[in-house]
Amino acid sequence: MMIKKKMKWVGGLVTLSSAALMLSTDAMAADDLFEDAGSWLQVIGEGSLKVIDPKLEKGRVWLETQSRFDRDWGHWYQGMVRTAVGYSLSDRATIWAGYTWLPTQNMKFDKNINGSYVSQQDLWPAFRYTLPTSLGTITFRTMFETNFLENNNSSDVRFRPRQMIRFMHPLQVEPHLSLIAWDEFFIRLNTTVAGGQAGFDQNRAFAGLGWSFNKNARTELGYMNQYLDDATHTNNTMHHLIMGSVFINF
């Protein structure tokens, strides 16, 4: 009975994320929607700076790299390198200051395969809070990106907050296996030539499974739905993605 209640609670979280995405889509029903399939692969390393000096135990470092494919897995269109330093306010709360490099192919609606490449750079602070519960672990992550954009000889600075809510539920039948669900919502605060009109930017919703090899290594695999608004809020894209992740703690 307890397992059924937990599964029902997890299912509710996934349903809530899906409903939010559907509402965004329905609100723009008159817009053109381009759908595509692909995959994202990522490796994330995070650890304490005590490996350098025991006095830096509360200091943190975050290293991440991604490769992103679209056009039915036949085209690499974007990469990402992210690095940050942080400080543990407690065993649950951490603050971060980071940098992201995002080489991206210019998106041309329904024909981005021949677009030129640009390199976006971001600076951002972030706050992460981890909340253990009897059902699993809920993580809240708030980032405030400053995007430095280059597009068609235009240089702009865009401000884009993003909010993630993530839930991990260990399965009693296999303690190494967990159900994973998360949603992340992006907003453009200002209008720029290269970054588009202010307002909704994108939503990412994920559901899948995670496997913990030990306390220092974990992998996750699942489905991510990415809904993107274009610069004018008219031509929108929905990516159906297989997402694979490797997490390393040190």
Q: For the chain, what percent of residues have pLDDT higher than 70?
A: 83
Domains and CATH numbers, the chain: 2-249 (2.40.160)
User: What is the rounded average pLDDT of the residues 137-155?
Assistant: 90
What's the pTM? 0.83
Q: What are phi and psi of 87, to 5 degrees?
A: -140, 130
Q: What pLDDT score was predicted for residue 106?
A: 63
Distance CA 24, CA 17 (A): 11
User: What are the pLDDT digits (tens) for 68-90?
Assistant: 999 888 889 999 999 999 999 99
- Whether the CB-CB separation of 126 and 142 falls below 8 Å is answered with yes
Tokens found for residue 190: 């200002």
Burial-class residue 171 by CB neighbours within 10 Å (0-12, 13-18, 19+).
middle
CA separation, residue 238 to residues 34, 205, 220, 229 (Å): 6, 11, 22, 9
Q: What pLDDT score was predicted for residue 121?
A: 96
| Residue 200 CB neighbours (<10 A) | 18
